Amino acid sequence: MSAQANLETIMSPPASAVAPEPAPQPVKALDPPKQRLNILMVDDVPAKLTTHEAVLAELDENVIKASSGREALEYLLKQEFAVILLDVNMPEMDGFETARMIRQRPKFEHTPILFLTAYNTSDLDRLRAYDIGAADYLFLPIVPEVLKAKVRVFVQLARQKQIIEEQAEALTEHNRRQQEQIQTIQLLNEKLTSMNQELETFSYSVSHDLRSPLRAMQGYANLLLEDFKGKLAPEAEEFLNRISKAALRMDALIQDVLAYSRITKSEIPLSSIDIESLLRDLIRENRNITRTGARVKIINPLHPVIGHEPCLIQCFSNLLENSLKFVPAGTTPEITIRSDLRNGRARIWVEDNGIGIDPTHHSRLFTMFGRVHHEKSYEGTGMGLSIVKKAVERMAGTVGVESVLGHGSRFWIELAAADKAAK
């Protein structure tokens, strides 16, 4: 073994000799520092002031000394005091006169005053003191513990009064802010009501004033195609066909915007809905299912939910139309509808064998005009899934999708299960 290794062995203590590190101590929350209150002592004898100050030092408050009534009044102009210790016998202005002047100031009308005297006094003097508003009348020499106890009581009362005043002030401020918030909410509600009225007017205008010219455009284009068939140049017929199709797309977009607007602002009363019955009616009435030869399979049971029937019809109609539309060319659509229960909520799945959706585009699907495919490849307004999302949210539900490009899509709607299903 080398000398260096021997030295390291000698200098290193054995494992048993190494003291373990002390466990970290929890940090105690510090109480807010106590706000010290003022105590005023008034006496023309410095020795008495010093003695009383020493007795009251244990209270840990601010003790302020005044050698005359006039000096005491000067202090009272600048500060507040929890209690005043006032000597009766003083030159120029005695304790009674000083107390009377103190009481004339509303701010100190109820401040406790303890009269102290070293001379024999009559009952009349004590009555004068109490008539002025003295809290007590003490004779010297005073037992230190008695003086501390009496002063401590008044200090505690002053501190409680201070806390109550601060709480009252905070409550007043809170009420003021709350009132401001209420006024702001009322103002916003008024603006919202006005905006809703404007929206209703706009919706009426869109529904009637804008759709009428579109229908006229489409009608005239179709008339020209029929009446002048074979007489128009191929390019002219193509332009007329484009006008007709553009009018149809615009009309579909207007209808989708109106549907979104109605769902956003209309009342949505919720009730128990038999999803299986609703979907079977939709499938039976959907002409595109017959036209495409689609195979639709319902896996029972479909659990009933708490929802709004018109909204659910809109949601599942849009999901079914997407499943019929977004399939590869030459492929027969296959749609499977099923449901499951999750913590008192029913999730209804609509699964298809379509073209699928790249996961990077999932976040765009439920936004307004959130198209993933170009309209030349697949017709549509890009509003269908945003209408589904808004309708589901109005029913206190959620909507989502699981899909991979080339492997179909699985859309789901989750709502509160009806009591029958939740049991």
Three-state DSSP state, 249: helix
Q: Same structural domain for residues 243 and 111? A: no
Q: In this structure, is residue 192 part of a structural domain? A: no
- Same domain assignment for residues 138 and 250: no
Spatial CA neighbour of 321 closest among 409, 189, 203:
409
Whether 304 and 413 share a structural domain: yes
96, 122, 142 — which closes off a domain? 142
357, 409 in Cβ contact below 8 A? Answer: yes
Give the separation between CA 275 and CA 312, rounded to whole angstroms: 9
Same domain, 218 and 289: no
Which pLDDT belongs to residue 245? 79
224, 236 in Cβ contact below 8 A? Answer: no
Instruction: Quote the CA–CA distance of 383 and 193 in Å, as a whole number.
Output: 25
| 184 lies in some domain | no
* Verdict on whether the full-model pTM lies above 0.85: no
Distance separating alpha carbons of residues 423 and 419, to the nearest angstrom: 6
- Tell me whether residue 150 is in a domain: no
Mean pLDDT of 315-344: 91
The phi and psi torsions of 340 (rounded to 5 degrees) equal -145, 165
320 lies in a domain? yes
235 and 101 inside one domain? no
What DSSP element (H or E) covers 71?
A: helix 69-78
Q: Where are the beta strands (DSSP E) in 223-281?
A: 271-273
At residue 9 the predicted structure's pLDDT band, cuts being 50, 70 and 90, is very low
Looking at the fold, whether 307 and 237 belong to one and the same domain comes out as no
pLDDT band at 371 (very low <50, low <70, confident <90, very high): low
Q: What is the CB neighbour count within 10 angstroms for residue 179?
A: 10
CB 397 within 8 A of CB 275: no
pLDDT band at 203 (very low <50, low <70, confident <90, very high): low
Q: How many domains does the chain have?
A: 3
Residue at a domain's end among 230, 263, 296: 263
pLDDT at 303: 93
Residue 17 pLDDT level (bands cut at 50, 70, 90)? very low
- Domain hosting 137: range is 38-142
- What share of the chain in percent tops pLDDT 90? 23
The per-residue pLDDT for range 134-158, each reduced to its tens digit, is: 777 888 788 888 888 889 988 888 8
For residue 165, tell me if it sits in a domain.
Answer: no
Look at residue 123 and tell me whether its pLDDT is greater than 90.
no
DSSP reduced 3-state for 58: helix
Same domain, yes or no: 246 and 303: no
| DSSP letter (8 states) at residue 267 | -
Q: How many residues does the chain have?
A: 423
Q: Are 259 and 295 in a shared domain?
A: no
The DSSP code sequence of 321-343 is HHHHHSS-TTPPPEEEEEEEEET
392 and 282 belong to one structural domain: yes
Q: Among the listed ranges 32-46, 199-213, 245-259, 346-360, which one has the minimum average pLDDT value? A: 199-213
Q: Tokens standing for 324?
A: 């019929």
Residues 255 and 278 in one domain: no
114 lies in the same domain as 215: no
CATH classification of the domain holding 81: 3.40.50.2300
Out of 105, 126, 142, a domain closes at 142
Q: Are 247 and 292 part of one and the same domain?
A: no
305 in a structural domain: yes
Q: Which of 151-155, 201-205, 250-254 has the highest mean pLDDT?
A: 151-155
Q: For position 386, which CATH number holds?
A: 3.30.565.10
309 CB-near residues (< 8 Å, 6+ apart): 271, 273, 278
Quickly count: other Cβ atoms within 10 Å of residue 211's Cβ: 16
Whether 325 is in a domain gets the answer yes
Identify whether 156 is part of a domain. Answer: no
